[in-house]
């Protein structure tokens, strides 16, 4: 089996354990040079795809796999003609492209997450592509209340009367369009991870580690969730891509997955066999692995203090156009329970994690210690994001 030489030993072993599962085929991955997209492109080739088209506004980086079965197409998801051209001849489209997180310019979310999704649906119809798998988000169902081991059906139904952030709102709009498009000629399904992590992560882990390394990261503490003991689930990037591919296999006539929404995580491999970890406890492990002080050795920031400051930061960010890390959405999600019962995905998609949380979390810390830590610069970017996250956002926003 061939691999990108950027993969870790843990990732290679997991891929070998699964082996070849595809009988050829042509696949399009939108957002194919992003963190999730690039790994999905690789895994499709590893499992036997004949050809994979990676479509992204961001050109392939040195971390991307150069392979004769992979074609990198630089294009804009907001340009319908480019999307239609890229999808020609596909057997399935995996729609991963998105403006992610709370840090993009506001108009970008609607153009990418909603209009871009409409363009993908149109491309599938133009070319008679039978399958569409969309990458969604659990935040589309977040209303600010704790999510303490809920199934998909137990969460609020779309559309919500109010969303916690623009990203969630526009992702929900896109997902509802994909669900509405499901038909015998275009079978669709939406799959979401939660708190994706792994080697080559360019958003979650580098921002956490940079905040820890510059000394500004503190535990966000709320009495409701045990003063820093909020329960959260995680999804290794390989587990998520595996879940997306399981979803594609579940698209057939009369399948229970048709037009549905699923969440996939590391499941029972978390420290709690119910399917969760205590967020700030496990976050401390890679922080200490970098040689940084434990966040538990520092004073906690109470939510009653954080929230007013977050609203002030939000207003300052709106006035100045700067991307401030502290905002009301982040305060809320970092102090709430966020873990899910994935039994429905296990049943309908036949999904089980291929990398355990313990192995994946340790492997991710090792990766960042080897590749991120030597380049770390102590510049106290309190008002901004990690530099690699800023770089990607700026390309997407075409600044």
Count CA atoms closer than 13 A to 50's CA, side-chain side.
8
Count CA atoms closer than 13 A to 13's CA, side-chain side.
8
Domain contains 165: yes
Q: Does residue 384 have a pLDDT over 50?
A: no
Q: Do 177 and 190 form a contact (C-beta atoms < 8 A)? A: no
Report the pLDDT value the prediction gives residue 393, as an integer from 0 to 100: 60
Q: Does residue 399 have a pLDDT over 60?
A: no
Q: Which residue has the higher pLDDT, 329 or 335?
A: 335
Pairing mode, if any, of strands 338-340 and 261-263? unpaired
| Pairwise CA distance, residues 5 & 290, whole Å | 23
Residue found by looking up tokens 């399948």 in the block:
255
Q: For 191-236, what is each residue's pLDDT tens digit?
A: 999 999 999 999 999 999 999 999 999 999 999 999 999 999 999 9
- Closest to 192 in 3D by CA, of 277, 248, 118, 133: 133
Q: Determine the 3-state secondary structure of 340 from DSSP.
A: strand
Domain contains 379: no
Domain contains 94: yes
Domain contains 326: no
From residue 396, alpha-carbon distances to 64, 111, 112 in Å are 18, 11, 9
Q: Which residue has the higher pLDDT, 1 or 317?
A: 1
Which residues, 6+ apart, have CB-to-CB distance to 209 below 8 Å?
Answer: 286, 287, 290, 292, 368, 372, 376, 386
CATH of residue 91's domain is 3.40.50.720
- For the entire predicted model, the pTM comes to 0.94
Q: Does residue 382 have a pLDDT over 60?
A: no
Report the pLDDT value the prediction gives residue 329, as an integer from 0 to 100: 84
Note down the domain range covering 57.
9-201+235-268+339-355
- Closest to 291 in 3D by CA, of 174, 369, 216, 218: 369
The predicted model gives 142-166 an average pLDDT of 96
Report the pLDDT value the prediction gives residue 396, as an integer from 0 to 100: 59
Report the pLDDT value the prediction gives residue 327, as an integer from 0 to 100: 83
| Joined tokens for residue 337 | 């329970």
Q: Do 99 and 396 form a contact (C-beta atoms < 8 A)? A: yes
CB-neighbour burial class of residue 272 (10 A; exposed 0-12, middle 13-18, buried 19+): middle
Report the pLDDT value the prediction gives residue 105, as an integer from 0 to 100: 77
Q: For 262-306, what is each residue's pLDDT tens digit?
A: 999 999 999 999 999 999 999 999 999 999 999 999 999 999 999
Report the pLDDT value the prediction gives residue 395, as an integer from 0 to 100: 65
| Pairwise CA distance, residues 242 & 352, whole Å | 9
Domain contains 314: no
DSSP string spanning 25-90?
Answer: -EEEEETTTSHHHHHHHHHHHHTT-SEEEEEESSPP-TTS---TTEEEEE--TT-HHHHHHHTTT-
DSSP string spanning 78-136?
Answer: T-HHHHHHHTTT-SEEEE-----SS-S-HHHHIIIIIIHHHHHHHHHHHTT--EEEEE-
The predicted model gives 139-163 an average pLDDT of 97
The DSSP code for 276 is B
Domain contains 222: no
Domain contains 374: no
| Pairwise CA distance, residues 364 & 16, whole Å | 19
How many domains does the chain contain in total? 1
Q: Does residue 174 have a pLDDT over 70?
A: yes
Domain contains 15: yes
The predicted model gives 43-60 an average pLDDT of 97
- Closest to 324 in 3D by CA, of 336, 334, 311: 311
Report the pLDDT value the prediction gives residue 323, as an integer from 0 to 100: 67
Which residues, 6+ apart, have CB-to-CB distance to 57 below 8 Å?
Answer: 74, 75, 76, 77, 97, 395, 396
């Amino acid at each position: 089996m061939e691999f990108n030489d950027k993969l870790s030993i843990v990732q290679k072993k997991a891929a070998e354990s699964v082996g070849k599962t595809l009988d050829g085929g042509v696949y399009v991955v939108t957002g194919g040079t992003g963190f999730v997209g690039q790994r999905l492109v690789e895994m499709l080739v590893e499992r036997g795809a004949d050809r994979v088209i990676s479509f992204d506004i961001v050109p392939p980086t040195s971390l991307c796999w150069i392979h004769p079965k992979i074609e990198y197409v630089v294009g804009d998801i907001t340009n319908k003609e480019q999307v239609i051209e890229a999808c020609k001849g596909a057997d399935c489209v995996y729609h991963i492209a998105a403006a992610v997180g709370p840090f993009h310019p506001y108009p970008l979310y609607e153009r990418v997450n909603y209009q871009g999704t409409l363009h993908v649906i149109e491309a599938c119809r133009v070319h008679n592509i039978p399958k569409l798998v969309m990458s969604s988000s659990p935040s589309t169902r977040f209303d600010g209340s704790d999510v303490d081991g809920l199934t998909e059906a137990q969460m609020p139904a779309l559309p919500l009367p109010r969303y916690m952030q623009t990203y969630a709102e526009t992702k929900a709009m896109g997902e509802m369009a994909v669900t509405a498009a499901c038909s015998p000629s275009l079978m669709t399904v939406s799959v979401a991870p939660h708190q994706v992590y792994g080697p080559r992560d360019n958003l979650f882990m580098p921002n956490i580690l940079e905040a820890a390394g510059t000394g500004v990261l503190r535990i966000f503490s709320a009495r409701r969730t045990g003063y820093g003991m909020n329960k959260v689930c995680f999804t290794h990037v390989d587990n998520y891509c595996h879940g997306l591919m399981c979803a594609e296999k579940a698209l057939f006539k009369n399948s229970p997955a048709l037009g549905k929404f699923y969440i996939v995580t590391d499941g029972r491999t978390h420290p709690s066999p119910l399917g969760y970890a205590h967020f700030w406890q496990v976050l401390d492990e890679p922080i200490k692995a970098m040689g940084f002080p434990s966040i538990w050795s520092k004073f906690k920031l109470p939510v009653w203090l954080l929230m007013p400051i977050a609203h002030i930061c939000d207003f300052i960010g709106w006035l100045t156009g700067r991307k401030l890390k502290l905002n009301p959405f982040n305060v809320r999600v970092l102090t709430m329970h966020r873990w899910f019962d994935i039994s429905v995905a296990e049943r309908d998609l036949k999904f089980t994690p291929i990398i355990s949380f313990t192995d994946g979390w340790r492997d991710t810390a090792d990766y960042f210690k080897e590749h991120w830590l030597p380049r770390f610069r102590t510049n106290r970017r309190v008002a901004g994001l990690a530099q690699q996250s800023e770089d990607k956002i700026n390309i997407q926003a075409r600044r």
